[in-house]
Amino acid sequence: MAKQVAQIIQDYLEQAALERRYSEHSLRAYRHDLKEFQDYLAEQGVRDPEAIDALLLRGFLSSLLKKNRKATVGRKVAALRACFNFALRKGWLSENPAALLRAPKLEKQLPPFLSEGEADRLLIKPLDETWLIKRDQAIFELFYATGMRLSELAGLNWPNIDFSIRMVRVLGKGGRERIVPLGRVAVKALREYQVAVESAGRTSGWKGKDPRIVFLNRSGERLTDRTIARRLKKRVLEAGLSPTISPHALRHSFATHLLNAGADLRVVQELLGHRSLSTTQKYTHISLGQLPEVSRRSFPRP
């Protein structure tokens, strides 16, 4: 049974990657979620695929709720449903045992975000002039200026940035591309970092490294999502801001400040790379009915 389940999971993930249905981050999460379910089946001694029923799944759900947030459990339930649907279409299961499985109801909580004053505090330019400090400054400015996801910013390459027209081409979820404008402050931070990192590369002898990668570590390799999040956390604490501020909080701040300045909700939807307008609306703190009444102003950071 374990081998059969492992093969189903592997085939499902390979197919999802081939169809570019999910981002790399989502695929990693689903891979982890489905492996966790596979381990649970082994603990229960389940060997027959048809023995996977609603009762077994509710037991799995109960075990998850003891050690995970409701949102995380909801994602794991979605992973199970999708994988079982795949197996059903392939004829490997006679029915989807997770079809009626309900994810835990989430309390409606707005993600944390910065006020404009807090954003200014976060983005105060440090006196230190090392290339690593310039790199971090460019990262934070870019987060706030574009609303990029963490994975999008980490995967950024220099050819995606057009300094002449102050635009960046972002590769988003599912391989979808979008064009996002850059403010003058973000462009200046990127230019200063570009000069500094090229000098550091010559000094450190980063031969054979990919010159297209924007954000590098000390070894000349692409900076990881985790390292970027850790660098932001350090700056947040140094600025005396809430430790809940994350890359996603900067994305939320970007959207909220644009809308508060009078930007059209559909424009913000496009900038964030959302397929659904309702997804964008969750980032806001004003209703659709209020938007036409808000005077149109420029984004707080030029």
In this predicted model, what pLDDT tens digit does every residue of 20-75 receive, in sequence order?
Answer: 667 778 888 889 999 999 888 888 888 777 788 888 888 888 888 888 887 788 88
Q: Could you give the residue numbers annotated as active site?
A: 149, 173, 248, 251, 274, 283
Mean per-residue pLDDT, 243-255:
92
In this predicted model, what pLDDT tens digit does every residue of 130-139 receive, in sequence order?
Answer: 999 999 999 9
| DSSP secondary structure letter of residue 295 | P
CA distance 199 to 216: 13
All residues at 6 or more sequence positions from 114 whose CB lies less than 8 Å from its CB, including other chains: 122, 241, 245, 249, 250, 253
CA 152 to centroid of chain Cα atoms: 7
Res 252 pLDDT > 50: yes
In this predicted model, what pLDDT tens digit does every residue of 222-246 receive, in sequence order?
Answer: 999 999 999 999 999 999 999 999 9
Task: Please tell me the pTM assigned to this model.
Answer: 0.62
Q: Is 136 exposed, middle or buried (0-12, 13-18, 19+ CB in 10 A)?
A: buried
Specify the pLDDT at position 225.
Answer: 95
Q: Which fold has domain 116-293?
A: hpI Integrase; Chain A (1.10.443)
Query: Do 151 and 227 meet the contact criterion of CB atoms below 8 Å apart?
Result: no
In 3D space, the residue among 239, 28, 266 whose CA is nearest the CA of residue 151 turns out to be 28
CA distance 249 to 233: 11
CATH 1.10.150.130 fits 2-89, yes or no: yes
Mean pLDDT estimate for the chain: 84
**182 vs 50, more confident:** 182
Q: Where are the domains of the chain?
A: 2-89, 116-293
CA dihedral 62→68→70→71, nearest 10 degrees, is -130
